[in-house]
Structure 1
């Protein structure tokens, strides 16, 4: 799978994706970052009646629905797909544009403690902005490990949605970064979706006019690929 995805076109597209996400302000306090979650994301799904199953989507701009109209982002489209498949699910959108893994780690407890109940599943999708900022893969691994450990320690099932390093960062960097997500999934026995943007990168018809983020059709492709894995993760 990696050999199919890591191409020149992928490297160019993913770099633009990361630039668009923008760096997070690592000096923000957890409460401020949690408020930014409310400001930056489409939380229309959170106004729905309580459902049997609660999923927390914890990530960056790809979760936040950057550049899309309400209801077109990843979270509401995934919820719709799961509901249409007979799952009584509500997804809380905790995607923050520009978040690094360090910023995510700082705000995680606040977000979890703000939920009406313990989530039945957390979708964890961070790391792209670490690539943008040139952070060492060891730092990304440390923060991701801490978040997964925190979640599993609370008894919350996790599904990691991974990222891949563009090849122009060098083979050594890519080799060290690309093993982070599968290694953590194996270590903590969690579900793994290897690459969030699979099926969309390199497809201009599935990207917004900015040439970076998925458009509504691109989100549909992503949701179509990931929904069965999410459903399986909910079933344990």
Structure 2
């Protein structure tokens, strides 16, 4: 049963940009937290997990993380550069354009990609190469990174998992990046924290993920600012 839940959960990264049902207002939507004009920028560069698939404005991971950071006394502006359905190859193609068009250079980047590669059966070596290239470009621009990792669905077999799962810890070590080993760990298998599709976190689920990742992002941002 746990394997089935994990398989279902990992389907979320394959969601495309097709029109989704209009989300209903959530009781958990918090009031906007003021962001100082001079707050450092965090770029959230990823797929549907960052894009806020089927969530109301302000309920996705980037805006909820921004609100939590500022409420806790860590000024930050989190820019949502998530695109539903993105593979690592597609993200690599848009990376330079995304970075070149930021009004303020990001002090930190969050990178959450790879699930779509796995679901499309792309070779793990391609995923590794694309993520490596993305991190290399961010290194060249002197933008520190926190990677939010993904795991292979068990039905793909042990050999695939053995190639796919180590990509994030290996690249985090190579590029001296922060690492969240499995981004969905706080919500996996809990229907109360998922949308009706049982594969995307709902607003409450997003808040759970924020609660687990906030301290690491805060630490990485402070370290980046001090450089």
> How far apart in 2 are the matches of 1:50 and 1:124?
24
- Corresponding residue for 2:45? 58
Which has more helix, going by share of residues? 1
- Corresponding residue for 2:98? 111
| Mapping for residues 141-152 of structure 1, pairs under 5 Å | 141-152=128-139
- Corresponding residue for 1:202? 189
For residue 112 of structure 1, report the CA deviation from its aligned partner.
0.3
Structure 2: 5+ residue stretches without partners: 19-31
- Closer, same or farther in 2 for the Cα pair 1:83/1:94, shift >3 Å? same
- Tell me which of 9, 16, 24 is aligned to 2:11: 16
Q: Deviations over 1:96-155 (max 9, x none)?
A: 000000000000000000001211000000001101111000000000000001001111
Aligned residue pairs, count: 209
> How far apart in 2 are the matches of 1:201 and 1:226?
15
For residue 9 of structure 1, report the CA deviation from its aligned partner.
3.6
Structure 1: 5+ residue stretches without partners: 1-5, 25-44
> How far apart in 2 are the matches of 1:50 and 1:114?
19
For residue 11 of structure 1, report the CA deviation from its aligned partner.
2.9
Q: TM-score, normalising length from structure 1? A: 0.84
| Mapping for residues 96-175 of structure 1, pairs under 5 Å | 96-175=83-162
Whether the aligned pair in 1 keeps the contact of 2:35 and 2:75 (CA below 8 Å) is no
CA RMSD of aligned residues (A): 2.0
> How far apart in 2 are the matches of 1:8 and 1:82?
34
> How far apart in 2 are the matches of 1:12 and 1:189?
30
